[in-house]
Chains A and B, each alone.
Chain A
């Protein structure tokens, strides 16, 4: 409890009459606590009132206007009064290909319209929640109780949780870890470990495909006493769920990978930034860290996102951890020089870091033998939509999209379209289905591998609706920092909306081209650069518009 009524104690203590401590000195060093504190308030109360926000502002402290700016940035933090239980129900592209629309109409019939408080509960539509292999999905925030995910979800199950029915969740037991690769890394020495990573040829699995060894050496060689390792587990690309799956399968592979990375670049502190809707995976990671913690030289801390796609962008993620709005920074400086808290920072995706123990154990050369020359190793692909067995497929680089679809049990019905790379990716043409999925082939033929999402749509799916949903997604997720993206994503949505209503004019087509061009050319970060990919490719190959 606070010691003084000035810091929140109920009763005055005698010294309160003549002295109070607080203030902003050193506040910068506590600013990073803002988002965890807002989460704590949101979790226990169900929303963050202005009174609570003021109190938080005073205790951190941070200017109330800035705290408000942060609180209102994130979807999972609400500064308006909210019912105690709120179900966020996915209606994104993969769910739409499946039973998502039916679930939404069931909910409307059973619980009334979305975004309308119904006693102590409410439901709203949500962007992809990252459980695409299971079918429909709902993420339910509950004031005072653990948030939970239901997948596959039915309207009845969602309604039961919203009524307050108790739910039994069983956290799977966490086995004892064996950090053999980490032990080997310590024997080899930091430089040798980095050499193995370079030799493996591994490229980042988060979507940008940057050579991992170059990054590691960059951070190791950057001047500065304090360095950080950050694991990007903010998996929010629609149709992508491999990082969640990896954590669920084996959290220790990730933890060991982070520990090796920290050792190799000279960091003693690491963060795992996990998306806010992955509560179950977060719990699993936390349990695993508890088991593993004492064996590690690095302090690994989990930071929870709060529902913002943009925070998957590395510099936006840093800002989010630091307690600011999760908006991207100008680059350069690059994170290897000035990243988290202004220090040299190694930031890698979950899949990348989880591959590291294997590289250390089997040597980089062995890893480089797998796949192709430029795309080494195995890759996780998330195959979802209208296929027989949606799921994560761990395959050698070089398979084609068609092969992957066959591996996933083949298409249900006739294939109408395939989207790779999620919302930021593009729809494939028929011939592109047979292009090997490698970085080099993708680059040459204009296929974005992105995060490894492959979404299959059969001829029953309304592609106009899908494209519109993608445009809606970007208009919602644009962080608003730079004008091209802020205005462009909204204008794109306007035009796609008109197309959905049957209008398809030359002016609109030309405007879409210009908007796409400006966003690619002038946006600060990857969100704006890729926000027009799907819409443009859908038009190009005739999925939507008057040519469709």
Chain B
């Protein structure tokens, strides 16, 4: 593994690279800002592949769409790896110099012939072959992915299998070639960077590392629990077991966003105490004992955000928040006061400077520099450092300053929720262009292209089910059922249907999804649900 944290590349790289791979991502709809950088790359002559069960709006821009079956990503990546190896297209020099474990890895993918790859993924062998060869031969390549890779019960293995491909070909650690997990909000990256992870301090310093602990405890003048905390899927399990009885939710809407949401809601209702801090009175907030109305991060507060290219940028307050709502800093400081800690209300910049004193990768990022340079990309260890456009350049240094990057043996396993005679159809979920997540921030606006509360299927599938566009059907999974109107689209196939999750009040798609989660990342399997679709008898 190369180490957790962030995407390796700058947006500028995708604008100039030779090959773009969008794997499990409909960035054109879900990450439109990133996609406009990608579109520049396409315009500049890059070749593009998309790998996605759906021929999504992004796939329409691709030179080749590989329509894999849901949950067969590792089957595809292992097949691609074997093809690169057997065709003699591996970057031998890079593998010998910068990686470890190649022999074991090569052996582990040996059985993934093109034929087997086609059988498991559904993608024709010659298309897989072309993809493998194009990736291996490209001068530079950007391998990008989003939730189609990570919202699976084997999310971490999915990511590792992609890292393997970059190690095989040397498409990492140099300008133009990299691994790019695209982030869905302007500050998802920043949330992790700032330590909103159960096992990390700000700057990805491990809470179990004694030196890190000592440093933070000295500055914070308090002791920090030795054990890592829970991630959200663990919290839900802990609510069920009764270990978690009080919950403080900041800017999240779990009552609508979690997989198997019926269960989550029941557990939230069973809590002793629920506190929600949000801009809107979300469904979760409506269940809360106490609601703290929060200011809008992008217009009513000062601070920083960090984008997918690890660029820390300033956000500036333009308006006073309405009514009683307050900046998060102020809410937290007041709360601390009520809990017996007399914190001084500090400016965003003062808090940022404290962060810089504790997080080496942010140390060089003063507000003045962020302002003057239009943001800086971490790591930026001191005030003379220009920031880091791409990560892992050390892989190409001689001698290597660190241990070589290991290949990971990853095994393909089918989705946790298997297809069967009574649940023969695969449902996958995703986003649309004009709506955002559970709709908290977007459903208040009208849109001429909104189609949130529908079940997408092809006309062939509709004919099999003897249903027509607009007709309401009953969709049932092993966990629950919902009723939803049918919409006919082209980008799917028989046995594969799609729903967005933007309109949970109308169509509660997460009643269907499975809450099996990846033990390594804590992400739930939103992308692969087995369902049955029934006509609703008339009258």
Seen from chain A, the residues whose Cβ lies within 8 Å of a Cβ on chain B are: 5-6, 12, 15-25, 28, 58, 63
Contacts and interface: CB of A to CB of B under 8 A. Distances in A.
Given A12-B460, A15-B124, A17-B122, A22 B67 contact: no
B65 A19 contact: yes
Contact of B48 (A15, A16, A25): A25
B64 A23 contact: yes
Interface stretch (B54-62, B204-212, B296-304): B54-62
B21 interface: no
Contacts of B493: 16-18
28 contacts: A5-B490, A17-B67, A17-B122, A17-B493, A18-B68, A18-B122, A18-B124, A19-B64, A19-B66, A19-B67, A19-B123, A19-B124, A20-B62, A20-B65, A20-B67, A21-B63, A23-B47, A23-B48, A23-B62, A24-B43, A24-B48, A24-B63, A25-B42, A25-B45, A25-B48, A25-B63, A63-B39, A63-B43
A403 to B, nearest CB: 57
A272 to B, nearest CB: 30
Interface string B61-84: 111111110000000000000000
A16 B491 CA distance: 10
B182 interface: no
A331 B65 CA distance: 42
Given A18-B67, A20-B62, A22-B63, 17 more contacts: A12-B460, A16-B493, A17-B67, A17-B494, A18-B122, A19-B64, A19-B123, A20-B59, A20-B67, A21-B63, A21-B65, A22-B60, A22-B62, A23-B62, A24-B42, A24-B63, A63-B39
A491 to B, nearest CB: 36
A6 B55 contact: yes
Nearest to A21: B64
Interface of A is mostly: mixed
Contact of B63 (A6, A23, A58): A23
Q: Which 6 pairs show the lowest CB-CB distances between chains A and B?
A: A23-B63, A17-B493, A18-B67, A20-B65, A25-B47, A25-B63
Contacts of A63: 39, 43
A133 B59 CA distance: 56
B127 interface: yes
Contacts, number: 60
B46 A18 contact: no
A15 B125 CA distance: 11
Given A5-B490, A6-B55, A19 B62 contact: no
Nearest to B41: A24
Contacts of B494: 17
Nearest to A11: B460
Interface of B: 39, 42-43, 45-48, 55, 59-68, 121-124, 127, 460, 490, 493-494
B63 A19 contact: no
A32 to B, nearest CB: 16
A5 B493 CA distance: 12
Contact of A58 (B60, B122, B127): B60
Contacts of B45: 25, 28
A58 B48 CA distance: 15
Contacts of A15: 124
Contacts of A19: 64-67, 123-124, 127
Contacts of A20: 55, 59, 62, 64-65, 67
A367 to B, nearest CB: 47
A332 to B, nearest CB: 24
A18 B59 CA distance: 12
Contacts of B123: 18-19
Contacts of B64: 19-21, 23
A192 to B, nearest CB: 41
Contacts of A12: 460
B41 to A, nearest CB: 10
A17 B490 CA distance: 10
A194 to B, nearest CB: 36
B440 to A, nearest CB: 31
Contacts of A5: 490
A20 B62 CA distance: 9
Contacts of A24: 42-43, 48, 61, 63
A22 B244 CA distance: 52
Nearest to A62: B43
Contacts of B66: 18-19
Nearest to A12: B460
Contacts of B63: 21-25
A20 B61 CA distance: 11
Contacts of A21: 63-65
Nearest to A19: B127
Identify the interface centre among A16, A25, A58: most chain B CB within 10 Å of its CB: A25
Contacts of B61: 23-24
A310 to B, nearest CB: 25
Contacts of B48: 23-25
Contacts of B43: 24, 63
Contacts of B460: 12
B195 to A, nearest CB: 41
Contacts of B59: 20
B65 to A, nearest CB: 4
A22 B59 CA distance: 9
B46 A25 contact: yes
Contacts of B68: 18
A51 to B, nearest CB: 14
A19 B124 CA distance: 7
Contacts of B60: 22, 58
A22 B491 CA distance: 14
Contacts of A17: 67, 122, 493-494
Nearest to A28: B45
B116 to A, nearest CB: 15
B337 to A, nearest CB: 54
A472 B510 CA distance: 62
A451 B377 CA distance: 59
A63 B35 CA distance: 14
Contacts of B39: 63
A22 B65 CA distance: 8
Nearest to B63: A23
Nearest to A14: B124
Contacts of B122: 17-18
Nearest to B126: A19
A501 B48 CA distance: 60
Nearest to A20: B65
A5 B65 CA distance: 14
Nearest to B495: A17
A6 B127 CA distance: 16
A20 B493 CA distance: 13
A63 B28 CA distance: 13
B43 to A, nearest CB: 7
Nearest to B127: A19
Nearest to B47: A25
A50 to B, nearest CB: 14
A63 B43 CA distance: 9
A519 to B, nearest CB: 33
Contacts of A58: 60
A58 B490 CA distance: 15
A17 B127 CA distance: 13
B35 to A, nearest CB: 12
Nearest to B67: A18
A25 to B, nearest CB: 4
A63 B123 CA distance: 27
A6 B67 CA distance: 13
B49 to A, nearest CB: 9
A63 B67 CA distance: 23
A16 B48 CA distance: 18
B368 to A, nearest CB: 38
A508 to B, nearest CB: 45
- Among A6, A12, A15, A22, chain B packs the most CB atoms within 10 A around the CB of A22
Contacts of A25: 42, 45-48, 63
